[in-house]
Chains A and B, each alone.
Chain A
Amino acid sequence: MDFDFSDDAKALREQARKFLDERSGPKVARTVMDGGDATPLWREVVDLGWPAARVPEAHGGVGMSSEAACVLAEEAGRSLAPVPLIQSLMATEALVLLGTAAQQARWLPGIADGSIVAVTGWAEGGAASPAVAHARVSGGTMRGSKSPVADAAAAHLAVLSATGGNGTQLYLVDLTGPGVAVTPVATLDLVRPHSALTLTDAPADPLGTADGYHDWLDRAAVLSAFEALGTATAAMDMAVAYAKERVAFGQKIGRYQGVKHKCADMFIKLELARGHALHAAWAMEAGAPELRQAAAAARVASLDALAFCAEENVQIHGGIGYTWDSDCQFYYRRNRALVAGLGSRTFWSERLVRSLEQRNAVAA
């Protein structure tokens, strides 16, 4: 029984954590929020080979296992890294999973060497769900709008969901090509830039099938779950550190059960989510049929953990946690970005239950 990451993945995690502890974190996030340029950090991340981690060697990548993407996502989440790494990893998963040889050859080498920044997007504002896109593709071009799309402003390639002749599926859209307008969109996340993409007969290359879209959604959910775990852990660590230091009524506030138990609840939710995320990571790497259910559970559990940790981190800080200058706001806002990034708890809980029903039907 071995239910843990491989030694290789753990080594990468340690390397990533050390690098990002130094070069990222809430202070860096604030600098970016205030208008700073994160391009130098992205160059360093590219030089470390992280966007290349999941690109097959044949396309100039490192060809690592999906565990590598999971640990990178978690560390990027933990450090609030203001770079389009997770979007890049999700786009890479789509190409590796669903791309034709030509599509992979066209895009993967550039993703690996950092010359192509790739993002993914499903959202269309409003109360749509990831399952049905209103953007339309016909005759090889896309019409519609995708918003908000994280990190699109600096991107060259977008992997977008749209509905064509075979239902809702993914398409590759060259953001530097015709018919694409990218405009900034204000969101609650003031560090991670989001854009609206307006597609007016933009060339759209079908990537995989409608079923393939759902297979990709599962994998994207696993990566997002690890990002959420990392972000939530940082929020919990911040809360615990404050509880150990802040004094009220003559003692550290961490001594009070109201505060102490809140921190314990953060830990509990995090560890529950971590079990699910590890299980989903296994299913992703093994290509196991359980992935549908495991990915959904990982997403729901990690969103629950992140919301609780981010919200209660503010609470434990009291008034100071509510100020602009406090780092609490980064986790509080990033929580909403992660929900919007792949769809809400409602959608993913429903997806979980549907996969349980289907599993029961098979077993019956």
Chain B
Amino acid sequence: MDFNDTPEDAAYRAKASAWLAANAGEYRNPPSIPYSREEFVRRSRAWQKAKHAAGYTGITWPKAMGGQGLSPMHSIVFSQEQSRYHVPTSLFDIGLGMCLPTVFTHGQPEAIARYVAPALAGDEVWCQLFSEPAAGSDLAGIRTKAVKDGDDWVIDGQKVWTTNAHLSDFGIIVTRTDPSAPKHKGLTMFIVDMHAPGVEARPLKQMSGGSDFNEVFFTGVRVSDSHRLGAVGDGWKVALTTLMHERLAVGGKPSHAPGYATLMALAATIDTDTGPAMAQRDVRQRIAASYIADEGIKLTQMRALSALAKGEMPGPEQSISKVVVAKTMQDMAAFAMDLSEAGGFVITGADPDLARLQGSYMASAGLRIAGGTDEILRNIIAERVLGLPGDLRPDKDLPFNASVAA
């Protein structure tokens, strides 16, 4: 076993590290005041442009698509080095991680020629329009419809939980084009212009107070057939491509999220009524449990990297990451706040570790749901890894318009 880079990866890492040191200096520390929306967008675009000019975007994308045509390991090496800085990448993560790979895999030549390059250069922002009020986990149950009209399709409906829709220029949308077909068979995906007439994005406020996501209303929105992704009726297959890219991003805990070390640092500052917190058995046991989960996921990621480095696909153990990370984050943050008594409840910003833990307590509730709920992820593990039978789905083979959902 060897945790070192291959000579090739080491050389790439050295180059990336040097470039980042020279160009990401201002992001060495997190912003002392959160960015305004305008500043966030401005900085995000500027960072994407800088990476693009230096050849650090689309690292695994085919060269024909404007990418570098390198291996997943290169992309991971760059991400690892980049995560040492607090650079704003989230504006482009969904677009470049999920939407554009779907476009260049299933899109028509005209669309690929128009959209891929500007997205990669940070000129255009994308969002993913999947979930709806009536269909989240049950993605195939969506109701937003697209009806053919000449060379166009007309889209009517509503999407929800769309991250950054209010900042986006384009999106990929899954629609129902044949309500008489069973639910999985009557779907088609399109590229949609978020500034087109009839598209209205309204920010939704999250429990945590922020507004990163939106509901998006589509009223008579026209989309050219040239913007169709994949064949009519192939929307489910195309959507799976999008979701697969989500899974291939060797995820894990967001790089600056608090972990067991944060809990240790916090505990070191606290005196309980029975002595220093770090001397209490339950605190130490909780730290051990958080370490097991945090480091266990990191080690699981490393097993994936090991497979990728050998040109193999990562194994089924990768499916455990998000489901472990989210709940661990919530449990650990709750414990930290318990330990801090009233101090964990009041928002003063005085203790940065406590502030981060309070933030992750709020964020973790959403993380347990977004990108696959805890329950769906367990279903996926049980069914796809362990081979247990799928849930009973009474509507699976019914024409959509004959099912309860219609």
Q: Which residues of B contact A300 (CB under 8 A)?
A: 288, 292
Taking the complex as formed, is A232 at the interface, i.e. its CB lies under 8 A from any CB of chain B? no
Q: Which residues of B contact A5 (CB under 8 A)?
A: 1
The reply to whether B381 and A268 form a contact with Cβ atoms under 8 Å apart is yes
From known contacts A2-B310, A257-B375, infer whether A276 and B388 are also in contact, taking CB-CB under 8 Å.
no
Per-position binary interface string of chain B over residues 222-245, scored 1 when its CB falls under 8 Å from any chain A CB and 0 otherwise? 000000000000000000000000
From known contacts A4-B303, A255-B392, infer whether A260 and B293 are also in contact, taking CB-CB under 8 Å.
no
Q: Which of A257, A301, A346, A350 contacts B292 (CB 8 A)?
A: A301
Q: Which of B4, B6, B281, B296 contacts A275 (CB 8 A)?
A: B296
Q: How far is the CA of A271 from the CA of B9 in the complex (A)?
A: 27
Per-position binary interface string of chain B over residues 372-406, scored 1 when its CB falls under 8 Å from any chain A CB and 0 otherwise? 00010111011101111111100000000000000
From known contacts A2-B2, A271-B317, A352-B291, infer whether A240 and B386 are also in contact, taking CB-CB under 8 Å.
yes
Per-position binary interface string of chain B over residues 323-344, scored 1 when its CB falls under 8 Å from any chain A CB and 0 otherwise? 1100000000000000000000
The reply to whether B388 and A243 form a contact with Cβ atoms under 8 Å apart is yes
Taking the complex as formed, is A248 at the interface, i.e. its CB lies under 8 A from any CB of chain B? no
Per-position binary interface string of chain B over residues 293-321, scored 1 when its CB falls under 8 Å from any chain A CB and 0 otherwise? 10111111011011101100000010010
From known contacts A2-B1, A353-B287, infer whether A276 and B382 are also in contact, taking CB-CB under 8 Å.
no
Per-position binary interface string of chain A over residues 1-31, scored 1 when its CB falls under 8 Å from any chain B CB and 0 otherwise? 1111110000000000000000000000000
Known A-B contacts: A4-B1, A4-B306, A243-B388. Give 9 more (CB < 8 A). A4-B303, A240-B388, A260-B382, A260-B388, A261-B382, A268-B320, A272-B297, A272-B320, A282-B1
The reply to whether A271 and B320 form a contact with Cβ atoms under 8 Å apart is yes
Size category of the binding interface on chain B: 35 or more
Taking the complex as formed, is B149 at the interface, i.e. its CB lies under 8 A from any CB of chain A? no
Taking the complex as formed, is A103 at the interface, i.e. its CB lies under 8 A from any CB of chain B? no
Chain A, Cβ-Cβ closest to B308? A1
Q: Which residues of B contact A357 (CB under 8 A)?
A: 264, 278
Q: Which residues of B contact A281 (CB under 8 A)?
A: 1
Interface residues of B (CB under 8 A from A): 1-6, 9, 73, 260, 264, 278, 281, 284-285, 287-289, 291-293, 295-300, 302-303, 305-307, 309-310, 317, 320, 323-324, 375, 377-379, 381-383, 385-392
From known contacts A260-B382, A263-B382, infer whether A255 and B300 are also in contact, taking CB-CB under 8 Å.
no
Distance between B85 CB and nearest chain A CB, rounded to angstroms: 21
Q: Is the interface of B mostly helix, strand, loop or mixed?
A: helix
From known contacts A3-B305, A254-B389, infer whether A260 and B299 are also in contact, taking CB-CB under 8 Å.
no
Distance between A329 CB and nearest chain B CB, rounded to angstroms: 23
Q: Which of B302, B323, B381, B390 contacts A3 (CB 8 A)?
A: B302
Taking the complex as formed, is A304 at the interface, i.e. its CB lies under 8 A from any CB of chain B? yes
Distance between A139 CB and nearest chain B CB, rounded to angstroms: 38
The reply to whether B389 and A252 form a contact with Cβ atoms under 8 Å apart is yes
Q: Which residues of B contact A353 (CB under 8 A)?
A: 284, 287-288, 291
The reply to whether A275 and B5 form a contact with Cβ atoms under 8 Å apart is no
The reply to whether A254 and B293 form a contact with Cβ atoms under 8 Å apart is no
Q: State which residues 266-286 of A face B: CB under 8 Å.
A: 267-268, 271-276, 278-279, 281-282, 285-286
Chain B, Cβ-Cβ closest to A5? B1
Q: Which residues of A contact B260 (CB under 8 A)?
A: 356
Distance between A251 CB and nearest chain B CB, rounded to angstroms: 7
The reply to whether A356 and B264 form a contact with Cβ atoms under 8 Å apart is yes
Q: Which residues of B contact A254 (CB under 8 A)?
A: 382, 388-389
Distance between A280 CB and nearest chain B CB, rounded to angstroms: 10
Chain A, Cβ-Cβ closest to B292? A301
Indicate the member of A2, A271, A273, A279 with the most B CB atoms within 10 Å: A271
Q: Is the interface of A mostly helix, strand, loop or mixed?
A: helix
Q: Which residues of B contact A257 (CB under 8 A)?
A: 375, 378-379, 391
Q: How far is the CA of A281 from the CA of B4 in the complex (A)?
A: 16
Q: Which residues of B contact A2 (CB under 8 A)?
A: 1-2, 306, 309-310
Chain B, Cβ-Cβ closest to A6? B1
Taking the complex as formed, is A229 at the interface, i.e. its CB lies under 8 A from any CB of chain B? no
The reply to whether B389 and A251 form a contact with Cβ atoms under 8 Å apart is yes
Q: Which residues of A contact B287 (CB under 8 A)?
A: 353, 356
Chain A, Cβ-Cβ closest to B287? A353
Q: Which of A261, A276, A285 contacts B375 (CB 8 A)?
A: A261
Q: How far is the CA of A284 from the CA of B305 in the complex (A)?
A: 21
Q: Which residues of B contact A352 (CB under 8 A)?
A: 288, 291
Chain A, Cβ-Cβ closest to B303? A3
Q: Which residues of A contact B4 (CB under 8 A)?
A: 1
Per-position binary interface string of chain A over residues 34-70, scored 1 when its CB falls under 8 Å from any chain B CB and 0 otherwise? 0000000000000000000000000000000000000
Q: How far is the CA of A287 from the CA of B377 in the complex (A)?
A: 37
Q: Which residues of B contact A251 (CB under 8 A)?
A: 389, 392
The reply to whether A3 and B1 form a contact with Cβ atoms under 8 Å apart is yes
Q: Which of A252, A260, A278, A286 contacts B378 (CB 8 A)?
A: A260
Q: How far is the CA of A353 from the CA of B284 in the complex (A)?
A: 6
Taking the complex as formed, is A105 at the interface, i.e. its CB lies under 8 A from any CB of chain B? no
From known contacts A276-B295, A297-B295, infer whether A264 and B303 are also in contact, taking CB-CB under 8 Å.
no
The reply to whether A301 and B379 form a contact with Cβ atoms under 8 Å apart is no
